């Protein structure tokens, strides 16, 4: 690249940095204020609308309630992936939708849930709404070539056969669709419909199609619901949580930039430019695609920052190795980028597999985390493989060619990790066992193996109307500690009722004595009228179905990761060792939750998923070096395999440490500066980062060596 072109490239890149930084600052400065440009924030960070429905069915079973909650959760995700649904009392269902401030608009759009029936021409019901999997508005070209509007239906497997039989027997007849006793559509059967999909045509416009689709979706619930009340609620964590998270992220980025420049010189400067573009572009994309950001979403961004830094560290380590091998700076850069690409792509692809499967199967905060993670991966991949490359070449093109500006890798003595593998295994087993022992002791003492939050087990919702309007910051500092004295733990969620002095405290289930103590605090200390204090038992906001979906998603992701690694590395032992190392990291984080008694809620899922993505990326980089070192070597003795294993880990050791340290610093700052709930999120994440470093350096490659040598031994026999 000549000098003029290099100057032009750098000028364009710097202009992009300035423009994106300014744009991101505009977005962040108005985030949560409901004005101009802003990122959609979840209920935990910005508040939203809370709607309470009354169940009209008198003898609703627990199964029907659970089914209705799960289906309603799926329906409201059109407004936000972070929307939550939970049971309140015996016969009420609450819906909380973040990022909106007008309950009436939501109610009008959502419609009133009621009974939906599909009838034959004689008026007999042959199918009910709960057999409809999905209904969406759509368009098609009619016989004249003009655009027409319709509703596309997806039916359950059982309903598909019934629908096929009924439509086959009633061609040319009308099959009325009745919602709450009123005919909302009376389509004519034009042909037998099979395959589980159907289309209702004849809509006047897209709005009519959208309204009918909404009625069919909401009418597929198992129970009839009527609106009882709706209110706008404030954030659970408050503005302070978002402010401290942003401040911690900014300080963390500055520290990482300083570290990268100090350690890698000109290469570090290029990485810093790419990292700024990554951070600001991520903020812009969140805004452009209206992705709702919550605390778990912040985890996805942190993971993305870690992967963006990691990609650059891998590249620069390679460049320094090539320079140390005697190559010119230009050729070292060329070969360094080429050799680093496979490890970077493999690491990002395996993490993207996790994100895509979670986006497909997950719901609620899991889906929001998946979207944020996927965006972070794509942007970090682009910035590390393209932005960094052009910036580095441009630096060289403008005359920065001396080796001293890039550095040279030092010859490291190979560390004998394989001979110490028994010690490493013992450390891992003891650490994991301590978690299970802790869970056993907790369970034996009647405290539960894990400290499950009300998000998993439900609890009590207490609404108090104070005599003055407290801010969330005042509530956190003054009122929450008093509530914690009653409950005996820190699992207290707080929301403000907009345009009033009302405060909602969500806690674990309170006994009668505890409820009396709760009321006494506000009556005696704050002069609250006890008659204005109301309590209601609430179910978990994370349903068993949502948990099941998340578990299934993780299992599918693990299987696909194994398949991908086995194909890319031409050896299933790499895949097996990687998954075992992942299990090690997950179990160590679980041990942290058990021993420290950190509240297990929605952030627990986010932490586990973050570690899943982070750790597999770490392991892939080490395995990539092993693959390179054994290239075209058909037969090797046990000693040769041990030497290759040890050399590969040693060669990637500085990269593993540097990446882990930079990511750890980001999370540590969140822990130091964050509010209580963010601390509960940050601590296990730090444990996971350390566990990931230990497994990638001391466990994963040793497991591969173990599998490789044992299988070879059994084959000889």
Structure tokens at 72: 């309603």
Q: Distance (Å, rounded) from C-alpha 686 to C-alpha 694?
A: 12
Question: Domain map of the chain by residue range?
Answer: 3-27+237-405, 48-99, 116-220, 418-436+543-716, 459-538
Segments of the chain with pLDDT less than 50? 32-37, 715, 717
Note whether 48-99 and 459-538 share their fold.
Answer: yes
Bridge partners, residue 155, by sequence: 132
Contact criterion met (CB below 8 Å) for 302 and 380 = no
Instruction: Please enumerate in sequence order all residues whose Cβ is within 8 A of that of 314, keeping only pairs 6 or more positions apart, or say none.
Output: 340, 343, 344, 621, 655
**Chain-centre distance of CA 671, in angstroms?**
19
Q: Is 79 left (phi over 0), alpha (psi -120 to 50) or beta?
A: alpha
Bridge partners, residue 226, by sequence: 54
Contact criterion met (CB below 8 Å) for 498 and 231 = yes
The pLDDT of residue 36: 40
Q: Residue 10 to residues 230, 263, 275, 276, 684: CA-CA distances in angstroms?
A: 54, 22, 15, 14, 40
The pLDDT of residue 33: 47
Kindly state the helix (H) or strand (E) to which residue 94 belongs, with its residue range.
strand 92-98
Structure tokens at 471: 């801010």
What is the SS3 assignment for 107? helix
Q: Count the Cβ atoms, other than its own, within 10 Å of residue 563.
A: 13
Q: Distance (Å, rounded) from C-alpha 270 to C-alpha 389?
A: 8
Q: CATH assignment of 3-27+237-405?
A: 1.20.1640.10
Closest to 362 measured CA to CA, from 605, 67, 76 = 605
The pLDDT of residue 310: 84
What are the φ/ψ torsions at residue 117 (nearest 5 degrees)? -135, 140
First to last CA, the chain: 58
What letter would DSSP give residue 451?
A: -
CATH class of 116-220: alpha beta
What are the φ/ψ torsions at residue 237 (nearest 5 degrees)? -100, -20
Q: Distance (Å, rounded) from C-alpha 295 to C-alpha 288?
A: 19
What letter would DSSP give residue 39?
A: P
The pLDDT of residue 476: 77
Residue 349 exposed, middle or buried by CB count within 10 Å (0-12, 13-18, 19+): middle
| Cα torsion through 464, 469, 473, 476, rounded to 10 | -20
Closest to 683 measured CA to CA, from 619, 594, 617 = 594
CATH architecture of 459-538: 2-Layer Sandwich (3.30)
Contact criterion met (CB below 8 Å) for 593 and 600 = yes
- Radius of gyration for the alpha carbons in the chain, expressed in angstroms and rounded: 29
Q: CATH assignment of 418-436+543-716?
A: 1.20.1640.10
Helix and strand counts by DSSP (H, E) for the chain: 24, 15
What is the SS3 assignment for 229? strand
The pLDDT of residue 104: 65
Contact criterion met (CB below 8 Å) for 109 and 94 = no
Contact criterion met (CB below 8 Å) for 622 and 652 = yes
Q: Distance (Å, rounded) from C-alpha 13 to C-alpha 8?
A: 9
Encode pLDDT of 668-712 as tens digits. 888 888 766 677 778 898 999 999 999 999 999 999 999 988 765
**Angle ∠(46,51,52) on CA atoms, nearest 5:** 140
Q: Count the Cβ atoms, other than its own, within 10 Å of residue 638.
A: 13
What are the φ/ψ torsions at residue 503 (nearest 5 degrees)? -130, 130
Structure tokens at 713: 């031994």
- Name the pTM for this structure: 0.74
Bridge partners, residue 54, by sequence: 92, 226
Q: Distance (Å, rounded) from C-alpha 591 to C-alpha 435?
A: 4
Bridge partners, residue 182, by sequence: 179
In the CATH hierarchy, which fold is given to the domain comprising 48-99? Alpha-Beta Plaits (3.30.70)
Q: Residue 81 to residues 42, 84, 379, 425, 533: CA-CA distances in angstroms?
A: 9, 9, 21, 40, 32
Q: Residue 488 to residues 140, 475, 480, 680: CA-CA distances in angstroms?
A: 60, 18, 11, 16
The pLDDT of residue 239: 56
The pLDDT of residue 76: 75
What letter would DSSP give residue 387?
A: I
Closest to 37 measured CA to CA, from 45, 47, 29 = 29
What are the φ/ψ torsions at residue 125 (nearest 5 degrees)? -80, 120
Q: Distance (Å, rounded) from C-alpha 261 to C-alpha 283?
A: 24
Q: Look-up: residue for tokens 């990609």? A: 311
Q: How many residues does the chain have?
A: 717
Q: Is 89 left (phi over 0), alpha (psi -120 to 50) or beta?
A: left
Closest to 113 measured CA to CA, from 61, 70, 56, 58 = 56
Q: Count the Cβ atoms, other than its own, within 10 Å of residue 210.
A: 17
Kindly state the helix (H) or strand (E) to which residue 69 belongs, with its residue range.
helix 62-76
Q: Look-up: residue for tokens 């570290």? A: 259
């Amino acid at each position: 690249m000549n000098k003029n072109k290099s100057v032009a490239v750098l000028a364009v890149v710097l202009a992009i940095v300035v423009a994106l930084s300014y744009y991101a600052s505009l977005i962040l400065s108005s985030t949560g204020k409901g004005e101009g440009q802003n990122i959609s924030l979840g209920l935990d960070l910005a508040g939203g609308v809370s709607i309470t429905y009354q169940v009209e069915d008198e003898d609703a079973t627990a199964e029907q309630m659970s089914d209705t909650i799960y289906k309603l959760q799926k329906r409201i995700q059109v407004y936000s992936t972070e929307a939550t649904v939970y049971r309140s009392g015996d016969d009420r269902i609450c819906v909380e939708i973040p990022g909106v401030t007008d309950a009436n608009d939501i109610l009008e759009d959502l419609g009133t849930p009621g009974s939906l029936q599909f009838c034959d021409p004689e008026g007999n019901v042959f199918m009910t709404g709960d057999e409809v999997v999905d209904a969406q508005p759509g368009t098609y070209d009619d016989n004249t070539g003009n655009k027409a509007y319709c509703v596309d239906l997806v039916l359950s497997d059982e309903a598909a056969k019934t629908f096929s039989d009924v439509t086959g027997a009633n061609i040319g007849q009308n099959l009325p669709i009745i919602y709450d006793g009123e005919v909302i559509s009376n389509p004519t059967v034009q042909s037998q419909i099979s395959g589980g999909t159907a289309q209702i045509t004849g809509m006047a416009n897209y709005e009519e199609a959208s309204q009918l689709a909404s009625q069919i979706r909401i009418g597929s619930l198992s129970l009839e619901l009527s609106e009882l009340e709706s209110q706008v609620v404030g954030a659970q964590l408050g503005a302070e949580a978002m402010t401290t998270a942003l401040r911690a992220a900014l300080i963390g980025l500055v520290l990482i930039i300083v570290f990268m420049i100090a350690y890698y010189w000109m290469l570090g400067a290029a990485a810093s430019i790419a990292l700024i573009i990554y951070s600001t572009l991520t903020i812009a994309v969140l805004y452009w695609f209206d992705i709702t950001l919550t605390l778990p979403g912040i985890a996805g961004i942190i993971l993305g920052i870690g992967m963006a830094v990691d990609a650059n560290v891998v590249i620069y380590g390679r460049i320094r190795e090539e320079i140390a091998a005697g190559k010119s700076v230009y050729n070292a850069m060329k070969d360094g980028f080429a050799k680093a690409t496979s490890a970077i792509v493999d690491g990002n692809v395996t993490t993207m597999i996790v994100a895509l499967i979670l986006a497909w199967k997950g719901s609620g905060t899991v889906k929001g985390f998946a979207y944020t993670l996927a965006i972070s991966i794509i942007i970090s991949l682009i910035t590390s493989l393209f932005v960094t490359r052009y910036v580095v070449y441009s630096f060289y093109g403008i005359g920065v060619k001396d080796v001293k500006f890039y550095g040279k890798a030092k010859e490291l003595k190979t560390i004998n990790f394989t001979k110490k593998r028994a010690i490493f295994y013992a450390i891992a087993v003891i650490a994991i066992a301590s978690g299970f022992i802790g869970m056993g002791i907790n369970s034996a003492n009647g405290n539960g193996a894990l400290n499950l939050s009300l998000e998993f087990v439900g609890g009590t919702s207490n609404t108090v109307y104070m005599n003055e309007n407290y801010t969330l910051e005042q509530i956190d500092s003054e009122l929450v500690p008093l509530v914690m004295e009653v409950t005996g733990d820190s699992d207290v969620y707080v929301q403000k009722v907009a345009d009033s002095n009302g405060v909602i405290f969500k806690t674990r289930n309170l006994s009668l004595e505890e409820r009396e103590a709760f009321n006494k605090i506000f009556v005696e200390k704050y002069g609250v009228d006890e008659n204005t204090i109301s309590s209601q038992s609430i179910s978990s906001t994370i349903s068993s179905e949502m948990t099941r979906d998340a578990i299934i998603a993780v299992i599918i992701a693990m299987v696909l990761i194994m398949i991908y690694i086995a194909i890319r590395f031409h050896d299933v032992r790499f895949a097996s060792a990687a998954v075992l190392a992942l299990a090690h990291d997950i179990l160590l984080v679980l041990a942290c939750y058990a021993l420290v008694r950190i509240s297990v809620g929605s952030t627990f899922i986010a932490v586990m998923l973050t570690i899943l993505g982070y750790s597999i990326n770490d392991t892939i980089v080490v395995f990539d070096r092993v693959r390179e070192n054994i290239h075209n070597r058909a037969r090797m003795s046990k000693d040769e395999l041990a030497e290759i294993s040890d050399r590969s880990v040693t060669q990637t050791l500085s990269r593993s440490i540097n990446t882990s340290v930079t990511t750890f610093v980001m999370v540590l700052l969140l822990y130091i500066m964050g509010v209580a709930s963010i601390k509960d999120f940050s601590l296990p994440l730090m444990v996971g980062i350390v566990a990931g470093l230990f497994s990638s350096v001391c466990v994963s490659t040793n497991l591969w060596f173990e599998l490789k040598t044992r299988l070879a031994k059994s084959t000889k026999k």
